[in-house]
Amino acid sequence: MKIKTFVLPLLAIFVLFLLGAQFEGCQQQQKQEQVVYGLSFDFVYNAPPEEIQVNQHFPVYVDVYNKGGYDLQAGTGSFYLLGIGNNLKNINTKLTNTHGLNAKTGFERLVFSSDAYSDLTLSNAFSFPIQLVACYNYATITQASICVAKQEGVCSFSDVAFNNIDSPIQVASITEEVKGNTLYVYIDLVNKGSGDVFMPESDCDKIVENDINEMLKKGKFKVTIQAEQGFVCSLEDNIGNSIESLQGYARLGRITCKKNVANEQAHMSNFMIVTEYKYVDSKKKTLTLLP
């Protein structure tokens, strides 16, 4: 009986330890999912308040931080307040960043209004959603070192070293293989952010209006590959035709580059991928007007 009395508390402690480890793992996973790869933006607390009396005056502020690794130039980020309609007065519905936002440190407070109010005539509380949309220019620069050879030996195809700057669109993997005399380099790109990517020349005003022609530019970005002579990549032109070039457009997924290596001496070579795009992300908030 003494042995059983001693073992049961140990089992209980072990179970609690496992549960705690799982909980901590979940917390770590949640923290990882909250990483911001480009601009971080949101309403300032209580500006606007969630509940607003008719004819109550209040500010509407949005704080914008550049958490990514690319400098955002002044005037290249557009921010929209959607869903305002006639519910609020004396409020801007579009602003742009007036200052450059440097990588990792850039900050700006946008003042959509310092004195907004509602003059609706209400007999009951009225709730409506508003949406804060950011549409901004961004880019990803990925540096890699690849093995250029007809077969592995001096260098390896299986361990391609690369690094991205922090940004929404990122290279997830680079792999190589040789078929005959042709070296193939496969570049897999993913969207690490919570928003959508558009071609860099897309019009932000038209995107928020869901213009059909701008929606056709969704999911595509401009790509420039800097590689040694002889490489070409399977890309698209600006209207979607297939081309073989070192500059063009691509979609999320795989880009394939190739080079004839029949007469190549095995060596390591620098390989740089630059992607340019508009990135569109949003936040939502519900406001309640009180009579």
Q: Do 130 and 255 share a domain, yes or no?
A: no
Tell me the CA distances in angstroms from 195 to 5, 62, 133, 177, 200, one per residue in order. 56, 18, 10, 33, 15
DSSP 79: E
Q: Do 122 and 146 share a domain, yes or no?
A: no
CA distance 118 to 202: 34
On whether the CB atoms of residues 71 and 101 are closer than 8 A, the answer is yes
CA distance 143 to 189: 14
Q: How many CB atoms are located within 10 Å of the residue 203 CB?
A: 16
Q: Do 274 and 158 share a domain, yes or no?
A: yes
- Per the structure, the count of domains in the chain is 2
- How many angstroms from the chain centroid is the CA of residue 148? 32
Q: Three-state DSSP class for 134?
A: strand
On whether the CB atoms of residues 207 and 214 are closer than 8 A, the answer is yes
pLDDT per residue as tens, the chain (291 positions):
444 443 444 334 333 333 444 434 444 433 344 566 899 999 999 999 999 999 999 999 999 999 999 999 999 999 999 999 999 999 999 999 999 999 999 999 999 999 999 999 989 999 999 999 999 999 999 999 999 998 877 788 887 889 999 999 999 999 999 999 999 999 999 999 999 999 999 999 999 999 999 999 999 999 999 999 999 999 999 988 999 999 999 999 999 999 999 988 889 999 999 999 999 999 999 999 999
Residue at 214 is within a domain: yes
Q: Three-state DSSP class for 10?
A: helix
Q: Taking the model in full, what pTM does it have?
A: 0.84
On whether the CB atoms of residues 27 and 34 are closer than 8 A, the answer is no
Note down the domain range covering 162.
Answer: 138-280
Q: Do 122 and 153 share a domain, yes or no?
A: no
Residue at 200 is within a domain: yes
